[in-house]
Every structure is written in C-alpha cells, then in structure tokens.
Chains A and B, each alone.
Chain A
Amino acid sequence: MLVNDLERQNSDIVAWLDKYGRDRSALLPVLQEIQKKYSCVSNQAMQVVADHLGIHPVEVYSVVSFYAFLDDKPKGKNVIRLCRTISCDMQGKAHIARQLENDLGIGFGETSPDGQFTLEWANCIGMCDQGPALMVNDRVYTSVTPSMVDEILEPCRKSCGVYALASKEEGQA
C-alpha cells in the first residue's frame, strides 16, 4: 500500500469515528465501513481504530476474527456467498456451487487472482422458500439455476461491481 493510501484510510477511519462516536460501541459500525470500502480490515486499520478508541489492537483483532463478514485478509470486490443451509441444500445448491466454481475458476474460500471475486459459503440467508439463494455483496439472487450463474457474474466482471450496471439502468429510466 502506498503511503497515500494509508493516509486516506486513516482519514476515513477518523471520519467514521466522528460519525459513530468514539466509544467501544462504535467499533462494529466502524469496522463494517472499513471492510466495505477497503475489502478488509488490515492490521494497520486495526491499530488506528484501537489508538482512537484507547483499546489494545488485539481487542479489535478479536472482534474482526469473530464475525464472518469482517476479514483481516483482502477479499474480492465481489464477494459471492452461496447459502448452504438445509432448504437451499435440498433445492440444489450443489449444482450452483459447481457452476460457480467452473465459471469463476476458484474454489470456495478462495479469491480470484485479479481480486474481483471471492467465493464463500453462507449460512442461512433467509430465502429458504425460494432457494437456491446467493448473495453478491449485499444483493440477493433467489431460485438460482446453473444457467443463471453467468448472467449474475457478467455485470460484476464488466466494471466495478454488481451495482454499476443497475445504477446505469436506473439513470437511463
């Protein structure tokens, strides 16, 4: 990371701390913002947060390591989470998993070398009546079939994420 990037991250963190407050209960919202913008909560970020909250960085690490949606290693720009819990399992999640692996060229728990995609399992995402279901970042897709997988991935490949195409369409409408 360039020094400039570090400085930018530091000033972001300070801004988020100002927004959410400088006490321990602000920790999770701040970490969520860091994760969202920087795709991970780096050691450097943990140190900065800890300094501002007056706690030991290991306290921050213990929180980052606890939550599935926080990571200390960089994730892809598009995090794909396929639900593996029973209802989606019964509706054929294994086929979707296979197609995702085929189309992305990575396995579960891996990030593509270009940093565009991370493929993960999710526990029940609350779409049990219309599985198999998956999430691309915050967006949910339901009743997914293997032939839909490429349609779901294509907008992510095209530019900077799953929202880019949708916002373009909204702009035209």
Chain B
Amino acid sequence: MIAPKNRGPMSYDTVKAEAGLTAALAKTPAEVVATLTESGLKGRGGAGFPTGLKWKFAAESQGQDKYVICNADEGEPGTFKDRFLLTDYAGLVMDGMTAGGWAIGAKHGIIYLRGEYTYMCAHLEALLQARRDKQLLGKNVGGHQGFDFDIEIRMGSGAYVCGEETALIESLEGQRGEPRNRPPFPVDTGFMDKPSIVNNVETFAYVACILVKGADWFKKTGTAKSTGLKIFSVSGDCERPGVYEFPMGITVADLLSAVGGSDAKAVQIGGASGYCAPAAEFNRTIAYEDIATGGSIIVFGQNRDMLKVAKNFLEFFVEESCGQCTPCRDGNPKLLEGVELLEKGRCSTKYLSELCSLGETMQLASKCGLGQTSANAFLSIVKHFGPDVMARTPHCAGHRKS
C-alpha cells in the first residue's frame, strides 16, 4: 500500500467503520433513502446524479435479484482518491454498500476494481472476510433476519471506459466494455438485466458518514445545489500534492492556496475529461452548478506548455475510446492530428475553428460520457491559451507564457 504524499483532515476520521451499517440497520430501508435524499448527496464520480433518487428508483424496481455495484474503476487522469479511500477507509465503503443492499433490497454487492489496483485485492478480501466473520456480511447481516448480503470483488482489465456505469456492467457480464444506450438505466435494467445501483467509492463512504452523522451535518457545508464535502486528488505543479477533503463550492483559488499552488498558470479540473481553467477564472467555484469534477485537480505551473497538455489528453482518449460510436472513435484522432499541426505551427485559423466545431459535435453526438467530454480539455485550452496554441515556431515551443 502506498500512502499519498500529503493528506488533509477527513470527516471519515470521525466515523468508525461498521457504525454506518449499524445506523442503516436502525432505520427502515425507506428511511435510509429518505436520509440520503435529504442530505442532497450527489454522485461523487463526477456525473452528480442524486444518490437518494437513484436508490429510490432501484428500491421501487420490481424483481428479486438486485445488485449494489461499487465503481472502483478509477481511471480518470489525476485521480487517486478511490485508491486512498479503499486503503484507509474501506470499512466505510463496505458499510455504504451494505446500507445500499438494505435500502434497495439487494443480496449481492460487487466491487469492480480496476486491474491496475490488483495489489489491493488481498487487503480488501481480508477485510471482507473479517466482516463475514462478524456477521456484517453473509446471512442475516447484523442479526437482521432475512437480510442477506455479500460483496465480491471483480477485477477490470485495463479499460478506462469501464468507469462508465453501463460499460462497467457490460464488462461484469463478460462483454467488451462498450457503453449501452440509456434508457433503460441500470436502476431498472442493470447487471444481468436486474435492477442495480452503481455508485462511486467515495459516494458509498459518504453514505456511511451521512447515516451516522445525519443529513443536516452533510447539508450544512457546500452550496444549495452541491451539498457537503468532496475528496480531491491534487497533483502537478504545487507544493503539497495529495488527497484532501474540501467543502463543495470551494473556489479554485482557495483550493490552490491550500495545496501551495497559487502561482499556477492553469488548473485542469476533472481530469482529462474535465475543464482547463486559466488563472483569470480561479474565482470560479468547484460545484455541480459551476465546474463539476470527480475530484481530479492537476495544477500547471507558469512554464507549462498547454498545447502539450492537450496533446497528452488526446493521446489518452485516442487509446481509450471504445470505438463504438463515430464521433468519439474518429473525432479524437482528428483532434490529435490537429494538435500535431498546431505543434508545428502549421494550422490555419479556419482549420482551428473547424477543429473546435468538431469538438462541439463530439460533445453533442457521442454516445457516452467519454466521447461527450473528451474534447473538453482541447476546447478550453484553445480558448484560453492562444499564445501556446497558435503560430508556434520551433524555438518557442514550450517556453512561452500566456
């Protein structure tokens, strides 16, 4: 296990493992869902779907077999919080999952762990076994007659797109990780066509905290539309990269000063699929209603060449596109070619504007979140960092300030 370089104080430290499960079982399933709805917790993977609502839909879905799936396919560039949570607070995550089983009436839990985290498997299996020994998993969980719930770990095999919930389900079913059309949503037709909730690792951990500390505790921080706290993975050109918990609605400037990156040229918020904010926008907030993120913060210092950043992200997407839909499969290589032209300083203004309009088409026409967001970084970098992007000559590449 590798600890993060730096870590801030976490509200998880104030909640004991297993307390979340005890609190959940003290409530009726409907009360668990109501508490989450009341808290305003939204999906911490980045998409921001209200967790209470998702669980309500799944609870109302007819059917005997239901599934609680923990999305631990953390692949977004710059994100490592889930690895940290599964190392230090796996008990809370498992509490949250078991609470999910109680709330929606599921018997099966699955942690879909990315293949790159295979080394965590033994640690997690040991924790699961310890919970089985304490009757916190298995038959009659926590002494509740008739509530059977167990969790298994399934490994990914090196595919970023499997972090998309329907691709993850396809992968669990033994298929290529190609996203499905939605609707139907997993809450109706999920794993093995059964109702399933797919939540991020961090979401489950906050579920446990909210059940212990109450919805009001969570609601009192954050903004009206983005309640509560969020875990951030901070890397790049700052003094203290690491894992931090901040309230939702924090400004980019406040976050940067907390990690020692105030003199940054730009910040990539939300990883490769996110938004690249220039210094002029550091007063904006990180929240679902402003700049949404799954928690990846990459800080770029004054000397960074932003076109190289765009190129790195596009190379990533060219590789990770599942190839199923045309805008994403063909659009990303086209944008990458464009970046290579820009790199040589051989791209007309007209062609650059065509590339931007291609990017906008990808945002609209791609089938899943990967394709819809893969042009974001390119578009925001072209928009904000003209001097890095246009009319480059060989000697200036990488050394110009915007």
Contact = CB atoms under 8 A, between A and B. Distances in A.
Interface string B33-44: 000000000000
Nearest to A85: B77
B45 interface: no
B77 A129 contact: no
Contacts of A23: 174
A32 B76 CA distance: 23
A165 B172 CA distance: 34
A139 B31 CA distance: 43
Contacts of B235: 87, 128-129, 131
B80 A126 contact: yes
Given A86-B268, A86-B298, A135-B116, A126 B154 contact: no
Interface in B269-321: 272, 298, 300, 304, 309, 312-313, 315-316, 319-320
B155 A29 contact: yes
A28 B300 CA distance: 38
A63 B316 CA distance: 20
B318 to A, nearest CB: 11
Interface string A55-75: 000000011001111100000
A34 B324 CA distance: 27
B140 interface: no
Nearest to B308: A89
Interface string B149-181: 000001111111000000000011111110000
Nearest to B82: A126
Interface stretch (A1-9, A101-109, A117-125, A147-155): A117-125
Nearest to A27: B174
Contacts of A156: none
A86 B317 CA distance: 12
Nearest to A24: B174
Nearest to A68: B158
Nearest to B377: A86
Contacts of B176: 62-63, 66
Given A28-B171, A87-B78, A126 B118 contact: no
Interface string B227-253: 000000111110001110000000000
Contacts of A51: none
A90 B304 contact: yes
Given A126-B80, A128-B298, A140 B119 contact: yes
Contacts of A26: 174
B80 A129 contact: yes
Nearest to B301: A90
A129 B157 contact: no
Nearest to B304: A90
A44 interface: no
Nearest to B233: A128
